[in-house]
Amino acid sequence: MSDKKQEILQELYPEDIYHYASKLTLGEAEVLQQTRQILEKEVRPVINDSWEKAQFPFEQFYKLADAGIMNSPKLFEGREGERKPREIYNAFLYYELARFDASVATFYTVHGGLGYNTLLLGGDERQVAEFAPKVANFEWQTCFALTEPDHGSDIAGGLATTAKREGDHWILNGEKRWIGGADTADIVPVFARDVDDHKIKCFVVRKGAKGYNAVPIQHKAALRPVQNGHITIEDVVVPETDRLQNINGFKDVANILIHTRADVAHIATGMTGGAYTATVKVANSRDQFGKKLCHFQITQEKLARMLANVTSAIAYSVRIAELMDEGEYEMVNSALAKMHNALVMRETAALGRGIVGGNGITLETDIARFFADAEAIYTYEGTHEVNALIVGREITGKGAFV
């Protein structure tokens, strides 16, 4: 490892005691370093107010485009012509974002994960050429409209939004819920069931489409800055040219979710690292009973458990990223990683909140955000139970979803 890369990684991830980040290239490490600098300079001053006011800091977030987190040439050295960076970089990008704040990471995974992967995997060559560059440089915001008011985990069989073809156009009707960025996105991939063949297809609804209405969901207790929307779709007209040609059934949707579930496993890893780091900071600075908190045995035991959780979660994220970089995409891998990492994230956030005490329910120590947001990460992109059943099906050969 070069001295420069080692120096950057030690600065960024001192909690990575097994040095998993050494698998990054120097260019990837430099992009992550610039990402950290932008987060601290631009987003840190506003993140607590954004969380409290339930407003996403769009202006500050889009400064990340300056780092080229999706398209910097440094990410494609020796891989020129590719549309996505390596998965190992992707894992640490999510770690970096979520280590800072879960809402920032969640907004990105909707745009750069769910939405972008839908366009890359679902679009034909012409569609990818039109959409991908504008999404990668943040000129266009995208999202992912799959889940519905009455269908989340059972969306494969329960999806109720309909699409009817009339000549060279499709007519869409239905509702979507919990769609991040639904009211601000420039292009919205909407999944609907073809009324003729009953197959799930995907349609790119462009901003300003008549009959499309998205209203942010209010009164959330987690991920407050993210504007999750409730969408109503009434006779929305989409041309056949904006139907993603390579999505023609739920199997194609599942291929997208393999990527996204891995991304959320990485977010859980970052949340674990962020909760640990914030807790260590408080433990090293707060006095109780004449000593710093970190001097007490019970505190050190909890910190050791937290670091063990960070280490195991990073291991899951790195290994699944390596497999995906090698071309191995298996739902069971993503499900196991998301299940495990979300569990240790939840425990780590709770341990940290306990160590910090009463100050752990204020935003100033960061722990309150990690503690509250962990509940959302634990649930989305497959609940614990759904991911466990995917793994259980692999173990036993028997599906137990119903």
Domains in the chain: ranges and CATH: 3-136 (1.10.540.10), 155-242 (2.40.110.10), 250-396 (1.20.140.10)
CA distance 246 to 240: 13
Per-residue confidence (pLDDT) for residue 155, from 0 to 100: 76
Question: Is the pLDDT confidence value at 152 over 80?
Answer: no
Given pLDDT bands bounded at 50, 70 and 90, which one contains residue 179? very high
Given pLDDT bands bounded at 50, 70 and 90, which one contains residue 387? very high
Per-residue confidence (pLDDT) for residue 373, from 0 to 100: 97
Per-residue confidence (pLDDT) for residue 258, from 0 to 100: 92
Of 349, 279, 257, which is closest to residue 309 (Cα–Cα)?
Answer: 349
Average pLDDT over residues 112-123: 96
Q: Which helix (H) or strand (E) holds 235?
A: strand 228-239
Listed in order, strand segments (DSSP E) in 82-225 are 162-166, 169-180, 187-194, 200-206, 212-216
Reading the block at residue 336, the tokens are 């196991």
CA distance 312 to 101: 20
CA distance 161 to 230: 13
CA-CA distances (angstroms) from residue 207 to 25, 30, 188, 255, 363?
Answer: 38, 35, 8, 26, 35
CB 122 within 8 Å of CB 245: yes
In DSSP terms, 191 is beta-bridged to: 202
Per-residue confidence (pLDDT) for residue 314, from 0 to 100: 98
Reading the block at residue 55, the tokens are 């407003």
CA distance 270 to 292: 26
Entry pTM: 0.95
CA atoms within 13 A of residue 127's CA, in its CB half-sphere: 23
Reading the block at residue 388, the tokens are 């466990």
CA distance 62 to 263: 20
Per-residue confidence (pLDDT) for residue 151, from 0 to 100: 80
Sign, CA torsion 15/18/20/25: positive
CA-CA distances (angstroms) from residue 267 to 248, 274, 381, 392, 399?
Answer: 29, 10, 11, 23, 27
CA distance 299 to 290: 15
Round the average pLDDT of the chain to a whole number and report it.
95
Per-residue confidence (pLDDT) for residue 235, from 0 to 100: 98
| Count of beta carbons in the 10 Å neighbourhood of residue 52 | 12
CA-CA distances (angstroms) from residue 47 to 100, 104, 163, 244, 398?
Answer: 9, 9, 39, 36, 45
Question: Is the pLDDT confidence value at 33 over 90?
Answer: yes
Question: Is the pLDDT confidence value at 393 over 80?
Answer: yes
Parallel, antiparallel or unpaired: strands 162-166 and 187-194? parallel
- Percent of the chain topping pLDDT 70: 100
Average pLDDT over residues 15-28: 97
Question: Is the pLDDT confidence value at 156 over 80?
Answer: no
Average pLDDT over residues 115-122: 96
Amino acid found at 263: D
Reading the block at residue 44, the tokens are 């840190």
Per-residue confidence (pLDDT) for residue 353, from 0 to 100: 95
Q: How far is CA 132 from the centre of its chain?
A: 18
CB 119 within 8 Å of CB 131: yes
Of 262, 259, 269, which is closest to residue 315 (Cα–Cα)?
Answer: 269
Given pLDDT bands bounded at 50, 70 and 90, which one contains residue 244? very high
- Residue 109 is given by DSSP the state I
Question: Is the pLDDT confidence value at 402 over 80?
Answer: no
Average pLDDT over residues 203-212: 97
Question: Is the pLDDT confidence value at 217 over 90?
Answer: yes
Average pLDDT over residues 1-6: 89
Per-residue confidence (pLDDT) for residue 359, from 0 to 100: 86
Question: Is the pLDDT confidence value at 318 over 90?
Answer: yes
Per-residue confidence (pLDDT) for residue 278, from 0 to 100: 96
Question: Is the pLDDT confidence value at 55 over 90?
Answer: yes
Listed in order, strand segments (DSSP E) in 147-225 are 162-166, 169-180, 187-194, 200-206, 212-216
- Residue 218 is given by DSSP the state P
Given pLDDT bands bounded at 50, 70 and 90, which one contains residue 2? confident
